[in-house]
Structure 1
Amino acid sequence: MRAILEIQKQLMPDMIEMLKKRYTILHHIQVSRLVGRRTLASSLNMTERVLRGEVEFLKTQGLLEVESYGMRVSEAGQKLLEQLEPMIKELFGLSDMEKQIRDAFGLEKVIIVPGDSDQSPSTKKELGRAGASALRKMAQEAGVIAVTGGSTMHEVANHLTPTTPLKGSLFVPARGGLGESVELQANTIASIMAKKTGGQYRLLHVPDHLGEEAYQSLIQDPNIREIIEVIRDTRIVVHGIGEAIVMAKRRKLDRNTIDRLLADGALAEAFGYYFDREGRVVHKMPTAGLRLEDLQNTKVIAVAGGRSKGESIASVLKYGKEHVLVIDEAAATEMMNHLQ
């Protein structure tokens, strides 16, 4: 495929650019599910006149369905996008980056989606779609699936659909979460995933971070102890990755703790653990939920994106528990810069 693409680039460069443009239009509509022409033109930084011509062509080819209330990708369009994905990754240079990051961190699979989720909501939606796809492929049989909170995990949940293994799965929060917006808490996301797939869910109604005394007291409660045991016996974990200081402030950690994190060089946060540039744990919160030591026999999917998180993602990967990584192009490029 690569050789053919190189020939086409030399002999028919205009055709390659047209392919990229039409793929991008279809892809944005797919991620949005239903979108109006004006909104789409704004998202793509394209004039409505130019977009109108492309939409008419795609509709004529049976790839788009256009109604008065918006556009959606047809079934034929969905199939074409799936077939085009490997070629598009070659055109955008994503295949090479996937391999280099996979080899550098010893991962089973790396999936890179075009764009920068720091700048584009549609890229974050695409991260969610790719994360949901990775989970469906990993879930070969029913079991316990633990999820963390955050906006990216919320997008993963929104893109799940009923599939045989997921229908019998039990979704649980990887940790407590009473310190941030309810819709972004792990409890909420676990329940959305269960409802989207037809699975079951259990909730953990405890704060995201606890003092040692409160932690020891809470885990004596039989109901809480029982759900914690379920969480720690999880089969698959899907989690996000955050920048250390951003997450510390979001969790409302005290000033002294934040100062210690800065002094220790904390770059990233996952599961309530804070990692430095070399992947060392420099701080951990006493949390009722999943611990790093519980990941020994667990498949782990990390989903994160945005140029601002590139170095943070790399620091968590250096700890070495992830199997599948789903990131965007901007985060991947930043990671490659640090690897080089």
Structure 2
Amino acid sequence: MNDAERKFLLKISRMYYFDEWTQAEIAKKVGVSRPIISKGLQKARSEGLVEIIIHDHGFDTIEMENRIESAFGLEDVIVVPSADMAKEAVRTALSKAAASYLQKQLKDAQKIGVSWGTALNDLVKEYPSDAHPHLKVIPMVGGMGSHGIELHANQIAFELSKKLDCQCESLYAPAIVETAEFRNLLLSTPEINRVLAEAKSVDVALVGIGNPFNQSTMKEIGYLGDAELQSLKNAKVAGDINSCFILEDGSIAQNTLNERVIGINTDDLRQAGKVIAVAEGLHKTDSIIAALKGGYINAIITEEQTASDIVSKLEQ
């Protein structure tokens, strides 16, 4: 398949599957016969340019979706079936579902904000090539250093922009700095100030949710040491979203590392057009509930076991 044929197949596939044009309408638009369009769509599938996913949710997952959606006033809840699946298979299924959901949110978007972490890195890996040259991807939190580079917001923004064939901003600052004074100094620099100002007005925001005390990526890459973890425990932190630490009721934790984070905070996050969270794992259940209580999220994508634990805790 040469580049011209590939471009043609992608074009008619987008018109057929995304824009919901009929084959006859596409044929008239591009100036070929309808059978050519039909054969082209079949070839796009056989060559792997188009992948069709059937979301066969069981009754239990639909009930969980409705329960969580109602409890927190969410726009969407997607629970990926995970019974009898290996951990890596669950991660892949979750990432595919998240990528598919994101695709549907980009029709009227101009700016996408991204946080950081394993869930978003996995999402971008599963996201198909889908050109949206009018878009811009913006990191919503800093992230520099030699560890876990692929998980940092800058790298995730860059990789997603390649998939979308669009512009990308970079935030040249760490996620957490040594002192509040240094943070304020960095925030006053024109370039960092400009990028964060853009991050506060994104149409779609992608975030993960973390538990700083259990299987913490922030600890693994060196942002959290023993002193920082003890400080968070003393403050009764329940989790973090976009590296902003929150309490059990969803409110922002005071007198913690939040005063040293380079990124938009949860109040800023509420200003985004739509905030989509991707998170799973029983160790994150309380953190997810805290983020949902805070009202920072419009949609969440998780898997069956995590959703079941959330529902169980809502009923306690």
Common fold by TM > 0.5? yes
Contact 1:232 1:291 in 2 (8 A): no
Given the alignment of the two structures, is residue 188 of structure 1 paired with residue 158 of structure 2, yes or no? no
Contact 1:117 1:305 in 2 (8 A): no
Given the alignment of the two structures, is residue 329 of structure 1 paired with residue 304 of structure 2, yes or no? yes
Matching residue within 241, 252, 263 for 2:209: 241
Contact 2:117 2:217 in 1 (8 A): no
Matching residue within 181, 188, 198 for 1:213: 181
- State the alpha-carbon separation in 2 of the partners of residues 100 and 151 from structure 1: 27
- State the alpha-carbon separation in 2 of the partners of residues 189 and 117 from structure 1: 30
Contact 1:116 1:305 in 2 (8 A): no
Query: TM-score under structure 1 normalisation?
Result: 0.70
Contact 1:273 1:285 in 2 (8 A): no
State how many pairs are aligned. 261
Q: Partner residue of 1:252?
A: 223
Which amino acid letter does the alignment assign opposite residue 128 of structure 2?
T
Judging changes above 3 Å, is the alpha-carbon distance between structure 1 residues 291 and 275 closer, same or farther for their aligned structure 2 residues? closer
Judging changes above 3 Å, is the alpha-carbon distance between structure 1 residues 117 and 176 closer, same or farther for their aligned structure 2 residues? farther
Which amino acid letter does the alignment assign opposite residue 258 of structure 1?
L
Deviations 1:31-54 (A, max 9, x none): xxxxxxxxxxxxxxxxxxxxxxxx
State the SS of the aligned residue for 1:289.
coil
Ranges in structure 2 where 5+ consecutive residues have no aligned partner: 1-44
Which amino acid letter does the alignment assign opposite residue 311 of structure 2?
M
Deviations 1:272-295 (A, max 9, x none): 222222222224243232222223
Alpha-carbon distance, 1:207 to partner: 0.8
Root mean square deviation, CA, Å: 2.5
Deviations 1:201-227 (A, max 9, x none): 111111111221211222232222222
Judging changes above 3 Å, is the alpha-carbon distance between structure 1 residues 221 and 78 closer, same or farther for their aligned structure 2 residues? closer
Alignment of 1:89-238 (within 5 A): 89-91=57-59, 93-115=60-82, 120-163=87-130, 166-179=132-145, 180-210=147-177, 211-238=179-206
- State the alpha-carbon separation in 2 of the partners of residues 263 and 217 from structure 1: 27
Alpha-carbon distance, 1:158 to partner: 1.4
Q: Partner residue of 1:32?
A: none
Which amino acid letter does the alignment assign opposite residue 107 of structure 1?
L
- State the alpha-carbon separation in 1 of the partners of residues 305 and 259 from structure 2: 30
Contact 2:250 2:291 in 1 (8 A): yes
Given the alignment of the two structures, is residue 279 of structure 1 paired with residue 217 of structure 2, yes or no? no
Contact 1:117 1:123 in 2 (8 A): no
- State the alpha-carbon separation in 1 of the partners of residues 113 and 313 from structure 2: 30
Contact 1:171 1:190 in 2 (8 A): yes
Matching residue within 264, 267, 278 for 1:293: 267
Contact 2:76 2:299 in 1 (8 A): yes
Deviations 1:126-165 (A, max 9, x none): 211111122221222241111111111011111223446x
Ranges in structure 1 where 5+ consecutive residues have no aligned partner: 1-71
Given the alignment of the two structures, is residue 264 of structure 1 paired with residue 235 of structure 2, yes or no? yes
Contact 2:241 2:266 in 1 (8 A): no
Query: TM-score under structure 2 normalisation?
Result: 0.75
- State the alpha-carbon separation in 2 of the partners of residues 287 and 116 from structure 1: 38
State the SS of the aligned residue for 1:334.
helix
- State the alpha-carbon separation in 2 of the partners of residues 310 and 125 from structure 1: 20
Q: Which has the higher helix share?
A: 1
Q: Which deviates the most, 234-243 or 215-224?
A: 215-224
Q: Partner residue of 2:28?
A: none
Deviations 1:89-138 (A, max 9, x none): 125x1100000010011100000112289951121122111111222212
Deviations 1:8-50 (A, max 9, x none): xxxxxxxxxxxxxxxxxxxxxxxxxxxxxxxxxxxxxxxxxxx
Contact 2:199 2:264 in 1 (8 A): yes
State the SS of the aligned residue for 1:300.
strand
Q: Which deviates the most, 185-194 or 167-176?
A: 167-176
- State the alpha-carbon separation in 2 of the partners of residues 212 and 118 from structure 1: 44
Alpha-carbon distance, 1:248 to partner: 5.3
Q: Partner residue of 2:293?
A: 318
Matching residue within 259, 278, 292 for 1:303: 278
